[in-house]
Amino acid sequence: MNIKIKFREKYSIYAFLTILSALLAAPLLYVISIALASDETTYLAKFTLIPQEFHFENFIKVFQLDLNFTRFFANSLILVTFAIIGQVLASSMVAYGFARLNAPGKNVLFIILLSTMMIPGEVTMIPSFVIFKNLGWINTLLPLIVPNFFSNAFNVFLLRQFISRLPIELDEAAQLDGLGYFGIYSRIILPLIKPALIAIAIFTFTWNWGWFMGPLIYINDFNKAPLALGVQILSATSSSGQVPPWNLVMVGSLMLTIPMLIVFFFGQKYMDEFGVISGSSAIK
Amino acid sequence: MKKREAIWFYIMISPWVIGFLVFTLGPMIYSLYLSFTSWDLFTSPQFIGFKNFIDLFTKDRVFWKTVKNTFYYAFLSVSIGMVASLFIAYFLNKPLRGMRTYRTLLYIPATVPVVASSLIFIKLLAPDTGLVNRFLALFGINGPPWLLHPAWVKPALILMSLWGVGVGVTLLLAGMKGIPVEFYEAAAIDGASSRQVFFKITLPLLSPVIFFNLVMGLIGSFQTFTEVYILTRGGPNNASQMIVPLLFDNAFRWYKMGYASAIAWVLFAICIVFTAVIFRSSRLWVYYESEVKRE
């Protein structure tokens, strides 16, 4: 754009954005400051915005609590890994079907698929709980993991759009070479939609890593909790009248946040390709 | 050949079909049935007709308060967030150096999981020692007790939602970057002021993105749970209680599964009505490039 921007306007824009960034960054700085505070400062709640104390041992102390943070971390990793595997496999299969294969009833099924995106999860929450309870899956990660292996309407829609854009001649050539439909899916389509699959993996990570309500419903045993639930438990379990160990709670919050930041920075390239859609990852 | 293709279609989409039947359609039918029963999860459900819905709408004052709170929170957080995102994205779209860095900085809070941001805001909004009130004190303002006061607890939650403004900014900015430069060049030749350019070009061409954001934002806010559960548990005096936390309490604290199912269906109805209203009205204000405007 060759629209000239006046000197004064330019610097007022910079000033505005800098103040705004500072305001939005302040809570994070405050968290770091609390996470590095001594137990005494925490007890007196005399926190400062700029860290004045540097008790890095808090990051070790959090793993020595009665609450097993190592387990929380491991549980979160298991949950997220299997959720990603499930979503990538199932959603890509379903998307390939809808993008490339024809069958009676296909359009109706696709409309049903799209309309399920509008159903709030709370409507199916209680019956799902009953199903998983009867399966004996309470206090396991299974109710959180298994549904991912049945795909998700949003991911299917996204991948279908992506596959539809690939030239159909690819499929035809592969078919002439004697490849069946599953062969086309696994050997031609899957390698070509890798960027989209990575985006799906990132979405799935984002949704599951910080997911709170699901674990809260299905997990009562502290040893089975993912990190998001574990950190909340730490903030709530102190006996009455006692102050929660806020410094350690904030260490936990940071441990919950840092993997999200890492994924955000490494995934930005893929997310930019999905410009419009990336914002909807906010619906947690 | 055609038949084989059809068979493979059904094989490939079978994960979704099975998932849809087992985790969506089946549970929906069951939950609709449960909404007409009284059920404590341990004995068998008692069919009680419309009693749950009648109680919800005529007897349960907490429910009405909850619906009002949810609407108040959803409309204010979505609309303030939208205006703020537009404002910020407008500046970030200027051809200046360093805008990418600002964009990244503004997005970082949005990557913080809700559990973590809720715990952070407990400390930020603490009446005496919290950062927000100490910041206000610098300007001689005596900060309110935020989460502890019925009148301030909802604004506090809205304030927290604004911390994640970066999501909307990123989305709108992507939309702004998609507007062809020719429009702006033509406007510059015609001598349009920057205000005219914004209201006559940027805003109309951005309306589909705004529309998407609005629908998703409202539906998402109607389902607010984690913030309320961690920050206030609905208090003080139910001033911050919202639909989903109330549903959760009924189902998993008080084991009133039938009543909770009825609440879930009211929530579903609210989401459908709002989506329909926004979709229907969108003709009036959403502009799609490929479309000839109906007069």
* Residue from A268, A278, A261 nearest A28 by CA: A261
A-to-B residue pairs, Cβ atoms closer than 8 angstroms: 272
How many domains does chain B fold into?
1
| φ, ψ at B226 (rounded to 5°) | -55, -45
Which residues, given as ranges, of chain B have pLDDT below 50? Answer: 292-295
A103 vs B6, B181, B216: nearest CB: B6
Put simply, whether A4 touches B (Cβ < 8 Å) is no
pLDDT in tens, B175-219: 888 888 888 888 889 888 888 888 888 888 888 888 888 888 999
pLDDT of residue A58: 87
Q: What percent of chain A has pLDDT over 70?
A: 91
Contact state of A261 with B27 under an 8 Å Cβ cutoff = no
Q: Per the domain annotation, does B36 fall within a domain?
A: no
Question: Tokens for B164?
Answer: 């994640």
Structure tokens at B148: 């502890």
* B164 lies in some domain: yes
- CB-neighbour burial class of residue B250 (10 A; exposed 0-12, middle 13-18, buried 19+): buried
- pLDDT higher than 50, residue A278: no
Distance CA(A168)–CA(A189), nearest Å, equals 11
Q: Which residues make beta-bridge pairs with B37?
A: B47
CATH number at residue B249: 1.10.3720.10
Is residue B241 assigned to a domain?
yes
Task: Kindly give the residue spans of alpha helices, DSSP state H, lying in chain A.
Answer: 7-35, 39-44, 58-61, 69-100, 106-115, 122-134, 142-145, 153-164, 169-176, 181-183, 190-192, 194-209, 213-218, 227-236, 246-273, 275-278
- The pLDDT assigned to B241 comes to 95
Q: Render pLDDT for A263-273 as a digit per residue (tens, 0 to 9).
A: 988 887 776 66
ipTM value, please give it: 0.88
pLDDT of residue B195: 86
Q: What is the pLDDT of residue B1?
A: 56
Q: Which residue of A has its CA nearest to B272?
A: A118
Amino acid at the residue B89: A
pLDDT digits (tens, 9 = 90+) for A30-61: 999 999 988 888 887 788 888 888 888 888 88
What pLDDT, on the 0 to 100 scale, is given for residue A97?
95
> For A261, which residue in chain B has the nearest alpha carbon?
B111
Is residue A4's pLDDT more than 80?
A: no
To test the contact with chain A by mutation, choose from B1, B123, B170, B288 the residue with the greatest count of A C-beta atoms within 10 A, namely: B123
Query: Which residue among A20, A147, A235 places its CB closest to the CB of B88?
Result: A20
Nearest residue, CB atoms, B124 vs list A27, A104, A149 = A27
Angstroms from B263 CA to nearest CA on chain A: 9
Check whether A212 has a pLDDT greater than 90.
yes
- The answer to whether residue B208 is domain-embedded is yes
* Residue B98 structural domain: 63-285
Chain position carrying tokens 């549970």: B27
Domain ranges of chain A: 7-55, 62-282
Q: Look up tokens 């405007």; give the residue.
A: B293
For residue A104, what is the DSSP state? T
pLDDT at A217: 95
Q: DSSP secondary structure string, B211-253?
A: HHHHHHHHHHHHT--HHHHHHTTT-STTTT--HHHHHHIIIII
For the stretch A215-244, pLDDT in tens is 999 999 989 999 999 999 998 865 555 778
H/E stretch holding B38 reads: strand B37-38
Does the domain formed by A62-282 have CATH 3.40.47.10? Answer: no
Question: CB of B88 within 8 A of CB of B165?
Answer: yes
Does the pTM of the predicted model rise above 0.80?
Answer: yes
Specify if B76 maps to a domain. yes
DSSP B179-194: S-HHHHHHHHHTT--H
Q: Which of A150, A205, A209 has the most B C-beta neighbours within 10 Å, making it the best mutation to test the interface with B? A: A150
Whether residue B31 is contained in a domain is answered as no
Mutate to test the interface with B, among A7, A9, A24, A28 (most CBs of B within 10 A): A24
Looking at the domain assignment, is residue B294 inside a domain? no
